[in-house]
Amino acid sequence: MRFCLPIILLALPTTARAADAFHFENDILPILSRHGCNSSGCHGKAEGQGGFKLSVFASDPDADYTALTKEGRGRRVFPARPEESLLLRKGTGRTAHGGGTKLPFGGEDYRTLRDWIAAGMPVGSPDAPRLVSLRVEPVERVMSQKGEQQLKVFAKYSDGAEKDVTRHARFQSNAESVAAVSAAGLVTTRDVPGEAAVMAGYLGEVGMFRVMVPRPGAPADNNLPQFNFIDKLVDAKLAKLNVAPSGLCDDADFLRRVYLDLTGTLPTPDEARKFLADTDKDKRAKLVGALLERPEFADLWALRWADLLRVDRQPLGHQRAHLYYKWIRDSIAANKPFDEFARELVTAEGPATEVGPVNFFKVVTKPGEAAGTVSQVFLGVRIACAECHHHPFDRWKQSDYYGMSAFFSAGATTHPRTKKDVFAHALGTDMPAANPLGDRRVPLAEWMTKPDNPFFARNLANRVWAWTLGRGLVEPVDDVRATNPPSNPELLDALAKYLVDNKYDVRKLIVLITSSRVYQTSAAPNATNEKDERNFSRAYFKRPDAEVLCDMISQALGVPEKFQGSPGVTRAVQLWDSKARSDFLKLFGRPSRVTACECERTREPSVSQVLNLLNSAEIQAKLTHEAGAVAKLVRARPDDAKLVEELYLTFFSRPPTADETAAGVKHLKKYPNNRRAAAEDLAWALLNSTEFLFNH
């Protein structure tokens, strides 16, 4: 068989094209991209693969041409006998290849590569038309569940010509639960109502197809009240999806929900009794106002911003890290307008031992790192990958990345590929003829915080929405791009406008959100919304952050946690030091603060977490502590029904139902000689319940 192969090769149709008919960037790179040769998991990774390195997603055509035609002693291509080129032998699997067979032997892509090699591997004319944009057909469509739609992708070139490039495009859906897409561009909807954006990428350009999948069946009824514009805009989207929202949550659910969202604490039994007994129709709004003034609010929200702004003792040292954290917490406690907060940080100067926000630049010391962090935290835009190549899912090029980096550079900034100077310019703006005079960070901060900035207010609105509702309108919250649109664009625009109109007052935004019916919706699904995970037709169960869960357990059991090296700190959310040792916080996903990504905080459950809650010696010690909550309640509540009621108020912020009371009393009466141990068992069961471990 080995000797017959050349005969087979010679039998292939000969459709060789003239050398001037080929253009390396337009004809060859799309093939390598389509088959994953230049992906970050193959030859596109930093060190390459098997001695062969390509630029990620064809971001450097000149380097790719050199790697293919000149490196490796020229053995990757063999014009005298193109079929024996290593590129084709490995691509078709005729020679061992770690990436497997990529090119169907004799197929169209194979023949194009073979003919290009046979023609002498021409680079192509420098005047050849260049790709300028991508168009997807159809642009949008309403589809039924479990339907199919084949996409077509057209590349538009600088000479006005268009070319069908569907076969070489790559596809990705931002909502796989609603609509998935195959490698060939076939969109298949699921049985979940919602909306999805399907990205098509080709070389350095992207296009998008949007699909809406309504729930089938009779029109959904929605007779619920609308408290503010949030409800109006959410209801409009739900109507398009034929989904009805769940009803309002009861007072007990609202009480627990808003305490955890705003302060990271549980209401005490006395606070719960008082709120549940209150008949004032405005009691929910009054509760929110009171919680915003509590020090626990500043503690929790400072923790969130300290994560993103990388308050890290390891590079800063104890004193400077604490000063940095204190500036963040003091700003939140004083309700400093967020635009002022951002400007102070971006333009900070002075001694790092005296000026808290200066320490941001002691953590992110490189211009590119500062640019990437500022973009991700304050604009919600990820530009870090554009340091080396065109962003694979967005419009940002290397010039955009280095334009942002130049704001934080003291000297000249040079494009690594073109070797040309790049002057400081903000995302989405044209590059000026020179860098701005003086401190370049000042015009950046001014641009960021202008009312018409397309990112700043929307990013803040999206983050606050995610921290209160459990997920962002754009998700992930720090991955804003055209190919990952918000689930409700009109709502995000309205929230951003509200922020601008109210001078970036975060507390006013929180009041607006918590006063909406959407925030106060029950977590109990109805027949129309049980599969909705993106459109806020019901409250979603939320995993508390590691620090909040730690505090919930300590508070419910009445025994404070002790943190090594942090004297005086009794609550985990008060820990400004992310390196303070805590096995519990590490296990439950506390971020290490080495990046600005929200993804550092992991919320995925694990078997280890379950086993810890069920069997932890530390939790058992708190549960059985002589001065703990259970021991005190057993002594203070000789009546079994009253003891059960107090335990439910402690753990769930609500009184037990009649059935729960009966079951609890029955359990306690089984052990008349060891009532405390029986109460500890009941408390252990409540602590390990879904109702306690989730915010809902």
Cis peptide before 337 (omega within 30 of 0): no
Alpha carbon distance 78, 97 (integer Å):
18
Which amino acid would we find at residue 604? Answer: E
At 93, the pLDDT band (50, 70, 90 cuts) reads confident
Contact (CB, 8 A) for 643 and 679: yes
At 61, the pLDDT band (50, 70, 90 cuts) reads confident
Alpha carbon distance 61, 66 (integer Å):
9
Superfamily for the 131-213 domain: Immunoglobulins (2.60.40.10)
Which amino acid would we find at residue 163? Answer: K
Contact (CB, 8 A) for 493 and 458: yes
Which amino acid would we find at residue 161? Answer: A
Its sign, for the CA torsion 407, 409, 414, 420, is positive
Tokens, residue 558: 């009445």
Residue 157, beta-bridge partner list: 131
Q: Using one digit for the tens of pLDDT, what is the confidence trace for 126-157?
A: 899 999 999 999 999 999 999 999 999 999 99
pLDDT at 384: 86
Tokens, residue 192: 């979940």
Domain ranges of the chain: 5-118, 131-213, 329-436, 546-693
Quickly count: other Cβ atoms within 10 Å of residue 445's Cβ: 20
Q: Using one digit for the tens of pLDDT, what is the confidence trace for 382-417?
A: 998 776 666 666 678 888 999 999 999 998 999 887
Alpha carbon distance 113, 556 (integer Å):
68
Chain position carrying tokens 């991700």? 376
Alpha carbon distance 477, 459 (integer Å):
8
Element (H, E) at 150: strand 148-150
pLDDT at 392: 65
Alpha helices of 317-455 — where are they, by DSSP H?
Answer: 318-333, 338-346, 360-363, 367-374, 398-405, 441-448
Q: Which residue did the predictor score with more confidence, 452 or 8?
A: 452
Alpha carbon distance 112, 120 (integer Å):
13
Predicted structure pTM score:
0.90
- Would the pLDDT of 8 be above 50? no
